[in-house]
Amino acid sequence: MALRIVVVGGGAAGIGAAGAAHQIDPDATVTVYTEFEDVGYSPCGIPYVHGKEIATFDNLFLQGKEFYKNSGLDIHYESKVTGVDPGNARVNVEGEGDVAYDKLVVATGFDYRDPGVPGTDLEGLYYVKNIRRAMEWDKVLDTVKKAVVIEASPLGLEMVTALAHRGIETHLVDPHPWALAEVGDPDIMKPVMDSWDELGVKQHYNTRLEGFLGEGKIRAIKTNNGELECDLAVICTHKVPNNRLAGEAGLDIGSTGGVVVDQRMATSSAGIFAAGDCAELPHGITKIPIQGLSGSHAYSQGKVAGANSAGGDRIYQPVYVPWGMVAGKWMIGGVSFGETLATALGIPFVMGVAQGISRARYYPEMKPVRVKLLAEPGTLKLIGAQMVGGEGIKERADFLAVAVKTGVTLEDLAWMENVYSPPIGALNEPIAIAAQNGLSSLKS
Amino acid sequence: MALRIVVVGGGAAGIGAAGAAHQIDPDATVTVYTEFEDVGYSPCGIPYVHGKEIATFDNLFLQGKEFYKNSGLDIHYESKVTGVDPGNARVNVEGEGDVAYDKLVVATGFDYRDPGVPGTDLEGLYYVKNIRRAMEWDKVLDTVKKAVVIEASPLGLEMVTALAHRGIETHLVDPHPWALAEVGDPDIMKPVMDSWDELGVKQHYNTRLEGFLGEGKIRAIKTNNGELECDLAVICTHKVPNNRLAGEAGLDIGSTGGVVVDQRMATSSAGIFAAGDCAELPHGITKIPIQGLSGSHAYSQGKVAGANSAGGDRIYQPVYVPWGMVAGKWMIGGVSFGETLATALGIPFVMGVAQGISRARYYPEMKPVRVKLLAEPGTLKLIGAQMVGGEGIKERADFLAVAVKTGVTLEDLAWMENVYSPPIGALNEPIAIAAQNGLSSLKS
């Protein structure tokens, strides 16, 4: 009898899992349940449609429903899985009843952390997630004069930039002393914050949200620094694992709220795998479980979970988390952790910083590239990095993540060769200068 | 008595050497002899001024003469060193006579290989090198209707693109079957050649230069495929080491014509160092000596040679040669060697190729990025790479050069994490896809 594989969730992890399962065992029946109307689109693109960088939401769809049908996947749209019964190997699906599985992949994704203040039932609170809702909200944005973005999270940074680009009076409210404070170092974030100033964004740091005010519809937010009028609040609180189903089914839940998985993406319950934003995974250096990574991580994890659910034997390795994004007029990015987080975690480090350039100093559109490298004292192995600049940040972050993972040292980076060609690279690569400065700091 | 350090040559290697020598031993007298009127400018920028990408030659100057004087370097401009006498530790300088040294750095750079055909004495043959001559030639370019670029070398690629951008009818003549054939693979070069077609460049491959024709001034070139009229011929033949002084002084000259140096950049003669385009260095993988690298290599080598001449003890490591440039509307680049050269050298390899993208598929200005990875069979350690694409080529080439040097494998790259953010990076990094494809090729 064909193996019955059930996937709960139609995001990057769920679709990755379903595709990989089908590839490993083409005879298996692979059924995906999603609460939403669509799969196969890029939610990460939503802020850029709002910001008018991308012309239409249609562009975000990679594949239509026919494609998945023809690929051998049975996707049930707008289908809510209300429970998992591991003992009897069944899921309960609203409107379908009990559905038996041989293997299950939980890919239930994330929720935005509840703001935990009064007034969340008002109209005018936008949680960026589903593309159909985003299409509706995009029409609302045409009428919005004044918007507040709640928290300078990665999505918050994107939404602030998008709303400002759209010409809406945009306020950013965040309880920390600077933007993206739990990830980004202040010197990395300063250019971003300066460029928001130039865009007219009003930034309110050290400001705690205390409530949403209004009658039926939002009129203002209440903070420890007073009220702030607005037509719209975009809720960009932390992403927390959607662990409801997994928790109720008795799967082990970890310290982050994510489903605990081993390196095969297998949960504590035999035959059940988990992947994506609902799961937690060890950080390669600290071994501390982390969650809330990128769509690329979710997709890769899904592929491992799906392959293994179909009888494969794939490993998902600890993560070093290269990250990068556009915020204001800059690109920011890094790997693992920066100075602030390493200090907070009590991780000792040697640091090298350089303010370099992306092309020959005289070449048009040359951009600054600031690089901070953190290395383990003694071995000088790279353990983290942060960058802000005008180009090449994503590629450098990818590079440095492999460098961290494979044990590359400041010495290796200080004397690295680099491409020198006026339109694309400067005489001295900023990463190399930062590494040299790190080595110099040891001598003084 | 202060150490007397003499540097012959005022290019990247010479100036790098002089600066490093002064830094290591501030009491040393550091004297630089250059045949030219200037130092401290970027010759690599010249094609881009000709192409009008850069507004003026003035932009190419990094430092004026005052700067070097104030830095403690004694630079003798338009001063030709006519001989080196290692036995008596003297150089002979035209107009100055014999000059004694304690340590000598030879940084005499390169010459373009003589085309070796009749007519090289005609007017209208342009050898791109010195900035003062380039300023004069730039005025000539305003009068040129039809130009021929001799050989599709790296400089040839830049000059073809520059002249075409400038609106001159541009012909490229090269004896090989495709552009940059000794370095670039045909599939990497095809987009470049196509984009030259779009720019109106006439490309003549498999075409051997047989002479320059004209009375006093060039009128045409003669090739094995007939005559080709032109007002100007830009000579972009191979760069060969300028080894005259070193050879006459009895220093060991290697198989490439470059001065043989050890890892301290010391020549075969005690107290004499060499650096830059006049020297040859072992390739990290093949151990074969190579020469004619980038300005970045010359500068780094100069710093090692200069530091050691002043009593330092620095090492210059074998080279893996990341390279990259703009040609036509594309960026090309790589590290070590591609498929064609590895095959020609008899180096066995596993290969993975991917046609990826630089941003989310739906994000404006998303560009293709083609990646070819070569790995050692068995260990799967990366040994080479080539790329063509629209952005991020230089950064990827730098990354892959470190990867080759530190023993990163196709396995490491296949499962690398990557930044995913629509405006700066795609869901799947092209390098990772290429590595996955390389691994897949082993299973079939």
Q: What is the DSSP string of B378-390?
A: TT-BEEEEEEEES
B368 and B418 co-located in one domain: yes
Q: How many CB atoms lie within 10 A of CB A160?
A: 31
Task: Let me know the angle formed at the C-alpha of A432 by B422 and B72, rounded to the nearest 5 degrees.
Answer: 135
User: Average pLDDT for residues A228-254, to the nearest whole number?
Assistant: 97
| pLDDT band, residue A278 (cuts 50/70/90) | very high
Per-residue three-class SS string for B98-151: EEECCEEEECCCEEECCCCCCCCCCECEECCCCHHHHHHHHHHHCCCCEEEEEC
Task: Give the bridge partners for B33, in sequence order.
Answer: B8, B76
B249 and B223 co-located in one domain: no
In a domain, B50, yes or no: no
Domain that holds residue B142: 125-235
Is the pLDDT at A296 greater than 80, yes or no? yes
Tens digits of residue pLDDT in A55-76: 999 999 988 899 999 999 999 9
Closest CA to B44 of A425, A390, A366: A425
In a domain, B375, yes or no: yes
The rounded distance, in Å, linking the Cα atoms of A102 and B366 is 41
Element holding A211 (H helix, E strand): strand A209-215
In a domain, A157, yes or no: yes
Q: What value does the CA radius of gyration of chain A take, rounded to a whole number of Å?
A: 23
Inter-chain CB proximity A417 and B296 less than 8 Å: yes
- In B195-254, the residues whose Cβ lies within 8 Å of chain A are none
| pLDDT band, residue A251 (cuts 50/70/90) | very high
| pLDDT band, residue A307 (cuts 50/70/90) | very high
* Pair B221, B148: CB distance under 8 Å: yes
Phi and psi dihedrals of B196, rounded to 5? Answer: -65, -40
User: Average pLDDT for residues A372-395, to the nearest whole number?
Assistant: 98
ipTM of the complex: 0.96
- B265 — contact with chain A (CB < 8 Å)? no
Residues in chain A closer than 8 A to B412 (CB atoms): 402, 405-406
Inter-chain CB proximity B418 and A398 less than 8 Å: yes
User: Which of A53, A297, A394 is facing B364, going by the closest CB pair?
Assistant: A53
B334 and B417 co-located in one domain: yes
Q: In whole numbers, what is the pLDDT of chain A averaged over residues?
A: 97
Query: How distant is the alpha carbon of residue A173 from its chain centre?
Result: 20
Element holding A353 (H helix, E strand): strand A350-357
What CATH number is given to the structural domain containing A278?
3.50.50.60
One-character DSSP codes across A53-75 = SSS-GGGGB---HHHHHHTTEEE
B87-92: long-range contacts at Cβ-Cβ below 8 A with a sequence spacing of 24 or more?
B89/B271, B91/B6, B91/B8, B91/B33
Task: Give the bridge partners for A228, in sequence order.
Answer: A221
Closest CA to B425 of A109, A19, A399: A399
Q: What is this structure's pTM?
A: 0.96
- B52 — contact with chain A (CB < 8 Å)? no
Which of A235, A251, A283 is the last residue in one of the domains? A235
Which of B205, B235, B265 is the last residue in one of the domains? B235
B103 and B243 co-located in one domain: yes
Exposure of B313 in the CB half-sphere (CA atoms within 13 A): 0
- A416 — contact with chain B (CB < 8 Å)? yes
What pLDDT is recorded for position B287? 93
- A387 — contact with chain B (CB < 8 Å)? no
Is the pLDDT at A220 greater than 90, yes or no? yes
What pLDDT is recorded for position B377? 98
Residue recorded with tokens 């990247």: B12
A247 and A215 co-located in one domain: no
B347 and B419 co-located in one domain: yes
B436 and B332 co-located in one domain: yes
* Pair A265, A316: CB distance under 8 Å: yes
First-to-last alpha carbon distance for chain B, in angstroms, is 70
Which of A172, A206, A235 is the last residue in one of the domains? A235
What pLDDT is recorded for position B51? 97
In a domain, A218, yes or no: yes
Q: How many CB atoms lie within 10 A of CB B250?
A: 14
* Pair A259, A250: CB distance under 8 Å: no
What pLDDT is recorded for position B311? 97
Residues of chain B with pLDDT under 70: 444
Q: What share of chain B is helix, strand, coil (3-state, %, to 5)?
A: 30, 30, 40
A270 and A219 co-located in one domain: no
Residue A226, CA distances (Å) to A204, A209, A213, A234, A324 in order: 11, 10, 12, 19, 33
- In B267-306, the residues whose Cβ lies within 8 Å of chain A are 294-297, 299-300
- B401 — contact with chain A (CB < 8 Å)? yes
In a domain, B208, yes or no: yes
A96 and A17 co-located in one domain: yes
What sign results for the dihedral spanned by CA atoms A290, A291, A292, A298? positive
A396 and A435 co-located in one domain: yes
Per-residue three-class SS string for A334-349: EECCCHHHHHHHCCCC
Into how many domains does chain B fold?
3
Task: Give the bridge partners for B282, in sequence order.
Answer: B289
In a domain, A357, yes or no: yes
Inter-chain CB proximity A398 and B429 less than 8 Å: yes
B358 and B406 co-located in one domain: yes
User: Average pLDDT for residues A239-265, to the nearest whole number?
Assistant: 97
Helix (H, G, I), strand (E, B) or coil at A232: strand
B401 and B417 co-located in one domain: yes
Residues in chain A closer than 8 A to B53 (CB atoms): 363-364, 423
In a domain, B361, yes or no: yes
The rounded distance, in Å, linking the Cα atoms of B138 and B47 is 10
In a domain, B328, yes or no: yes
Helix (H, G, I), strand (E, B) or coil at B332: strand
Inter-chain CB proximity B420 and A296 less than 8 Å: yes
What sign results for the dihedral spanned by CA atoms B122, B125, B129, B130? positive
Is the pLDDT at A10 greater than 90, yes or no? yes
Inter-chain CB proximity A392 and B394 less than 8 Å: yes
Is the pLDDT at A262 greater than 80, yes or no? yes
Q: Which letter, b or e, does each residue of B56-69 get, where b requires 16 or more Cβ atoms within 10 Å of its Cβ?
A: ebebbbeeeeeebe
- B20 — contact with chain A (CB < 8 Å)? no
